[in-house]
Chains A and B, each alone.
Chain A
Amino acid sequence: DQQVKQNSPSLSVQEGRISILNCDYTNSMFDYFLWYKKYPAEGPTFLISISSIKDKNEDGRFTVFLNKSAKHLSLHIVPSQPGDSAVYFCAASVGDYKLSFGAGTTVTVRA
């Protein structure tokens, strides 16, 4: 049973607007959450992370929000750019190296 779920397989957004990607998890023991970005024919690359002791982490155009009571996290990309078109994976761990990944959300940024 998947412990990390990304219920939106795809998202289309206009260039310059905000992209919001959502992720839900079931394991309350997860204490570290990450977002990875993947381009076709490449491996995933780390984008941004947040630990369970925080509710927000910001890095340039990317912000991750964590709502522990709802077991929900989201990634905001503002403003969206054409180079942001990729598959985004949400991942979580209990701090022991082993990551549990969601199924991914394909983001398409329209010019």
Chain B
Amino acid sequence: NAGVTQTPKFQVLKTGQSMTLQCAQDMNHEYMSWYRQDPGMGLRLIHYSVGAGITDQGEVPNGYNVSRSTTEDFPLRLLSAAPSQTSVYFCASSSTAGVLAKNIQYFGAGTRLSVL
């Protein structure tokens, strides 16, 4: 019962470095999304995808890129890391079958990223 798997769990970057946060789900969910969690801010939507080949921006997309080549995978790329991107990142997925299913998102365990 893997669900949503995120790698790595922890990462330290230097300013200007690039990296990709990996996310994979095995539930055949069409909808996938990336959130960041910062103290006092809750979870904020970065990018989302309603299916393979379709992505769109969320609330805080600047500095991040995504692609969705398969149903299972939804990687998040930081092209040039900045200290403001220090955060905990969560990937989530949900089914598209009905209003309730769409909104019940299954989350990975998170990636804790520090940018120095």
**Could you say which residues of chain B place their CB within 8 Å of the CB of A44?**
43, 90, 107
A95 touches B90 (CB 8 A): no
Q: Are B90 and A46 in contact (CB under 8 A)?
A: no
B103 pairs with A42, CB closer than 8 A: no
Interface 9-mer from B14-22, B61-69, B78-86, B94-102: B94-102
Select B103's contact among A34, A43, A104, beta carbons within 8 Å: A34
B: contact size bracket: 20 to 34
Cβ contacts under 8 Å, B48 to chain A: 97-98
Considering the complex, give the chain A residue whose CB is closest to the CB of B99.
A95
A residues 81-107 in Cβ contact with B at 8 Å: 89, 91, 93, 95-104
Interface string of A1-29 (1 = CB under 8 A from B): 01010100100000000000000000000
Chain A residues closer than 8 Å to B110, beta-carbon distance: 41-43
Give the distance to chain B from A6, nearest Cβ to Cβ, in Å.
8
**CA A9 to CA B41, docked complex, whole Å:** 11
Asked if A98 and B58 sit within 8 Å, CB to CB, the answer is yes
Asked if B99 and A51 sit within 8 Å, CB to CB, the answer is yes
CA distance A95 to B33 in the complex (A): 15
Contacts of A103 in B (CB 8 A): 40-42
| Shortest Cβ gap from B73 to chain A (Å) | 17
Using C-beta atoms within 8 Å of the partner chain, give the interface range for chain A: 20 to 34
Q: Which B residues are in CB contact (< 8 Å) with A65?
A: none
Determine the residue in chain A with the shortest Cβ distance to B32: A97
Task: For B107, list chain A residues within 8 Å (CB).
Answer: 43-45
Contact flags (1/0) for B35-57 with A, using CB distance below 8 Å?
10000111111001010000000
B102 proximity list for chain A (CB < 8 A): 93, 95-97
B109 engages A41 (CB within 8 Å): yes
B residues at A contact (CB < 8 Å): 4, 31, 33, 35, 40-45, 48, 50, 58, 90, 92, 94, 99-100, 102-110
7 other contacts beyond A97-B103, A99-B45, A99-B105, with CB at 8 A cut-off? A43-B110, A49-B103, A51-B99, A89-B42, A91-B43, A97-B50, A103-B40
Q: Could you give 8 example pairs across A and B, Cβ below 8 Å?
A: A43-B4, A46-B106, A95-B99, A97-B94, A98-B33, A98-B58, A99-B43, A99-B45
